[in-house]
Amino acid sequence: MKTKNLLLLSFIAMTFLACSKSGSNPLLDQPNTPYGVPAFDQVKNEHYLPAFEAAIAENKAEIDAIVNNEAEPTFENTIVALDRAGLLLDRVQGVFFNVLEADGNDEMNAIAEQVSPMLSELSDGIILNDKLFQRVKFVYDQRDQLGLNPEQMRLVTETYKAFADNGANLPEDKKERLKAINQELALLSLQFGNNVVAETNAYQYFVKDEAELKGLPESAKAAAAEEAAAAGHPGEWLFTPKRTSFTPVLQYCENRELRKELLMAYTTRGNHDNDHDNKPVIIREMELRIEKAKLFGYDNPADYILADCMAKNHQTVDTFLASVWAPSLEAAKREAAELQKLMDEEKMAQDPHTDDQILLQPWDWWYYAEKLRKAKYALDEEELKPYFELNNVRKGAFGVATKLFGLQFEPLKDMPVYNPEVEVFKVTDADGALVGILYTDYFPRAGKRPGAWMNNILPQYIDAEGVDHRPVIINVGNFNKPAAGNPSLLSMDDVETLFHEFGHALHGLLSKAHYKSLSGTNTPRDFVELPSQFMENYAYEPEVLKTYAFHYQTGEVIPDSLIAKINAAGKFNQGFVTTELLSASILDMDFHELTSAEGLDVNAFEKASLEKMGMIDEIIVRYRPTFYNHIFTTGYEAGYYSYTWAAVLDADAFAAFKETGDLFEPATAARWRHLLEQGGTRDAQELYLEFRGKEADPANLLRRKGFIE
C-alpha cells in the first residue's frame, strides 16, 4: 500500500489545517454526526471542488507559517507541525476518493480530473519547498542529540525521507521537471482506472435461450435474469465482465463458447484500440516513471520504488519470485495434465470413435477443475454456498477478532452513508473503550471499481492535548448481489476475500500511533499485506467455520463431512492459483525494470514476458496489462510481489499459533495485537522478529500449498 507516491499523498493530507466554513458545505464544517464521521448524506457533487480549493488555500498559509517561523527548527515546530496539520483535507479526501471508487459517476470523474493535478501541484509545492526542507533537514541532522523516543525518531526519519526521496535534493531545473511528471502521472492514473470501469460497464452479453446455460446454478441464472430485466431485456440473461457475473459461468456452464466469450471479454478490457484503450496510457506512464527514476539516479522505476520496501531492490524481488515460481509452475503443469486427462475421458465417453483431441484452454480450466474437485473430494461449491451467507460470514470474521483481541462489533443504525447498501459498525475493546468505526460496502454497482479493498475514511492519531482520535475505516467488495428476496451467498474465494479485507481493517482499527503519517497501514508495501493474509488462515479452520457457517434456510451448522471435504481440498488447484498470481507479479517487475520505453509495444511485451518465465498456455496471467489497476492506478507498481512476500510471513505467523495448539492462544494473540498496533512506527522486519522470535520460514508457505511435504 505504501509507495513513495502514496507517501506523497499522506504528506498532502497531513499539511492541511482544520477549519470551519459556512454551513453551506458539509465538507468544510465539523459535522454534527455520531462519532464525528463524515456527513455522507449531506454531501453533493457541487461541494467537492470548493472544499478542495479551500483546503489548498489553507494549506499554503500553513506551510508559509512553518517556513517563516523565525524560531530555530525543532521536532515540535517543524516535524510535528507537519504531522498534526491536515484534518480538513483528511476529511475531504476521505469522503471524495472513497465515494469516487465505490459509488462514482461521470461528474465525480470530471472533478477528479480537475483535483488530481491541483493535489499534485500542491504536493510538489510542499516537498520541493527548499526552505521547508532545510528546516526538516536541520532537525534530521540533529536527531541523535534531541533525546527522541523510537516513534519520534521514526517520524523524523520518515519525514526527511519523504522529502529527499521525492526531489527535495534535486537542482531547480530537475524539480520543475519532476512537478510536470507528477501532474501528468496523476492524470494518467485516473484515465487508466476510468477506462477500465468504462470497458467493464460497456460490455453486455445477453443470452436468449436458457438451454445455453446448462449446468449454471439456479442462483446464478436468477441473478443474470434480474440483471437482464433491469437492462430492459426481460426473459433473457445478462452477463458482464464483473467477476460475480462471469465466474459462475466459467466454473459450471457446459457452454464452452459462452465460457470463452466471457473470459475474453474480461481479459481484453482496455485493449480494443478504442477511446478507452489503455495501451497508450501504459506507454506514457512507463516513459514518465523511467524518467522520474533517472532523475533520482536509478536505472529503472523498480529500484527507485523498492528502496523503501523490505526487499530494497529488484534483484531481491526477482530471486524471491523465482524461488516460488519454479515449484508453482511444476504444480500447475501437473494440474493441467490432470484436467486434460479428464477432458479426454469426457470426450471419449461422448464419442468413442474419434481420435481428435480437444486441448485444454484457459476458459476450460475453472470448469474442469470444478469437475475434478467434485470427483476427487466430492466437494461442490454450490453445496457450500448455502452455508456462506454474507452476514454470517462477516459475523465469523468479527468473531475471530473477538476471540483474539476481545473486540466487540455493534451495528449502528441511521448513520450517514453514501449508498443505502453501506452498513456501519461501532468497534469497542473488551473494556468498552472505542476502537473505531467500520463501514462495509459489499455489492457491485455501475460506479464501483472492480475488486475489494480497505481504506481509511479518517486516520488514527493522538493530538497535542493527548486525545486519541480513533479511526474510521471502510471495507469494500464486489460480492454476489442477491436476487430479490434471496440472501447473498458467497463462494469460497469470496469468503477468503472478506476475511482478507477485514484483516486490513483490523490493522487500521487497532492502531496506537501518535502520528497519523505512521498510523495504521502506513507501512512498507511488502509488509502491509501481512495482517490481511494472516486473517485468511482462520476462514476455514473447523472451529471457526462452526461459528458462522449456518445453512441460510435451515440454520443447520455446516456438517463435519463438508468441513472434512474443505480441508481435504485445501491444497487443490494451488499450482493454478499461485502461477496465475506470480505471473502477474513477474510481469509487473518486467515492466518496471525497463530502462527505456522507446518502441514499447504493450501486447508484444506481455507476450515476451510470459514466454521468458515459461508460462503455460492453459493459464492467463491474473492481470493483463490493460486492466492491471494495481500497477497503473492504485500504487502497487513494482509491488504486486508483496502479496507473495507477505504470504511467507503470514504462513509463518499462523504457524506460531498452530505450534501452541490453540488458534487463539492469549500470549501469542497479545504479541500479534502489539504488532498491529504499531503501524509504521517501527521497522517492519524488527516488528516481525519481535513477534516471532526468528526469521520467517518460507517452507511454511510451500507446505501449506502442498508443494512440499
CA distance 71 to 65: 11
Instruction: Please say if 218 is a catalytic residue.
Output: no
- Please list, in sequence order, all residues whose beta carbon lies within 8 angstroms of the beta carbon of residue 98, skipping any fewer than 6 positions away: 418, 455, 457, 474
8-state DSSP, 489: B
Kindly state the cell numbers that stand for 620: 492467463
Weakest-pLDDT range from 197-211, 370-384, 508-522, 655-669: 370-384
CA distance 47 to 154: 37
Mean pLDDT for 643-667 is 97
- Please list, in sequence order, all residues whose beta carbon lies within 8 angstroms of the beta carbon of residue 235, skipping any fewer than 6 positions away: 208, 225, 228, 229
User: Distance of CA 567 to CAs 51, 374, 377, 572, 587, Å?
Assistant: 52, 14, 10, 10, 32
pLDDT of 22 > 60? The answer is no
Mean pLDDT for 694-704 is 93
Cβ neighbours, 10 Å, residue 277: 17
Model pLDDT, residue 501? 98
Dihedral angle at the C-alpha atoms of 195, 524, 516, 91, nearest 10 degrees?
10
| Band (12; pLDDT cuts 50, 70, 90) | very low
pLDDT of 300 > 70? The answer is yes
pLDDT of 49 > 90? The answer is yes
CA distance 593 to 588: 9
pLDDT of 18 > 70? The answer is no
Model pLDDT, residue 30? 78
DSSP SS3 for 33: coil
Mean pLDDT for 294-306 is 97
CA distance 532 to 545: 18
Model pLDDT, residue 23? 52
Positive or negative CA dihedral for 101, 105, 106, 110?
Answer: negative
The active-site residue out of 261, 501, 541, 637 is: 501
Mean pLDDT for 562-578 is 94
- Please list, in sequence order, all residues whose beta carbon lies within 8 angstroms of the beta carbon of residue 185, skipping any fewer than 6 positions away: 5, 120, 285, 288, 289, 292
8-state DSSP, 1: -
Angle at 276 between CA 43 and CA 590, to 5 degrees: 105
Weakest-pLDDT range from 22-26, 64-68, 576-580, 627-631: 22-26
Helical (H) or strand (E) element with 364: helix 362-377
**118-159, pLDDT tens digit by residue?**
988 888 889 999 999 999 999 999 999 999 999 999 999 999
Instruction: Return the residue matching grid coordinates 447473498.
Output: 488
**78-87, pLDDT tens digit by residue?**
999 999 877 8
Burial of 50 from C-beta contacts in 10 A (0-12 / 13-18 / 19+): middle
Identify the residue with better confidence: 450 or 595. Answer: 595
DSSP SS3 for 469: strand
Model pLDDT, residue 15? 35
CA distance 429 to 523: 24
pLDDT of 606 > 70? The answer is yes
Instruction: Return the residue matching grid coordinates 497535542.
Output: 464
Weakest-pLDDT range from 7-21, 235-249, 295-309: 7-21
| Band (3; pLDDT cuts 50, 70, 90) | very low
**222-280, pLDDT tens digit by residue?**
999 999 999 999 999 999 999 999 999 999 999 999 999 999 999 999 999 999 999 99
Mean pLDDT for 651-655 is 97
What is the pairing mode between strands 205-207 and 453-458?
Answer: unpaired
Angle at 31 between CA 26 and CA 35, to 5 degrees: 145
Cβ neighbours, 10 Å, residue 314: 23
Weakest-pLDDT range from 84-98, 334-348, 562-576: 84-98
Taking alpha carbons only, the member of 60, 225, 75 closest to residue 135 is: 75
Model pLDDT, residue 155? 98
CB 504 within 8 A of CB 454: yes
DSSP SS3 for 389: strand
**197-228, pLDDT tens digit by residue?**
999 999 999 999 999 999 999 989 999 999 99
CB 287 within 8 A of CB 597: yes
CB 425 within 8 A of CB 217: no
Question: Across the chain, what does the average pLDDT equal?
Answer: 93
pLDDT of 180 > 80? The answer is yes
Set out the domains of the chain in order of their start, with CATH numbers: 4-198+277-314 (1.10.1370.40), 203-267 (no CATH), 386-568+642-705 (1.10.1370.40)
Mean pLDDT for 28-57 is 93
- By percentage, how much of the chain surpasses pLDDT 90? 86
Model pLDDT, residue 17? 30
> Which runs of consecutive H residues, i.e. helices, occur in 460-540?
492-509, 525-536
pLDDT of 432 > 60? The answer is yes
Mean pLDDT for 440-445 is 96
**461-490, pLDDT tens digit by residue?**
999 999 999 999 999 999 988 877 889 999
CA distance 622 to 584: 6
The structure's pTM equals: 0.86
Weakest-pLDDT range from 5-14, 16-25, 77-86, 243-252: 5-14
**526-538, pLDDT tens digit by residue?**
899 999 999 999 9
